[in-house]
Amino acid sequence: MVKVFLRSMFKKSANPKIEELTKSCTLRQYSVGNINHVIRLDGSKGCVWCGDPLKNNHPARRYCSDVNCKHSIYAWGYPQKENGLWELLARQDFCCKICGYDYKPFIDDTLIGKYYGLKNKNKVDYRSHFNYYVVKLLKRVIDKAWKPEVDHIVPVSKGGASLGLDNHQAICSSCHKTKTKIDNSGPRRKRNG
pLDDT in tens, 40-97: 777 778 888 888 888 776 667 788 877 888 889 999 999 999 999 999 999 999 999 9
Mapping DSSP onto H, E and C, the string for the chain reads CCCCCCCCCCCCCCCHHHHHHHHHCCCCCCCHHHCCCEECCCCCEECCCCCCECCCCCCCCCCCCCHHHHHHHHHHHCCCCHHHHHHHHHHCCCECCCCCCECHHHHHHHHHHHHHCHHHCCCCCCCCCCCHHHHHHHHHHCCHHHCEEEEECCCHHHCCCCCCCCCEEEEEHHHHHHHHHHHCCCCCCCCCC
Predicted pLDDT at 193: 44
Pick the more confident residue, 118 or 8.
8
pLDDT in tens, 159-184: 899 999 999 999 999 999 999 999 88
Predicted pLDDT at 44: 78
Question: Is 4 a residue whose pLDDT tops 50?
Answer: no
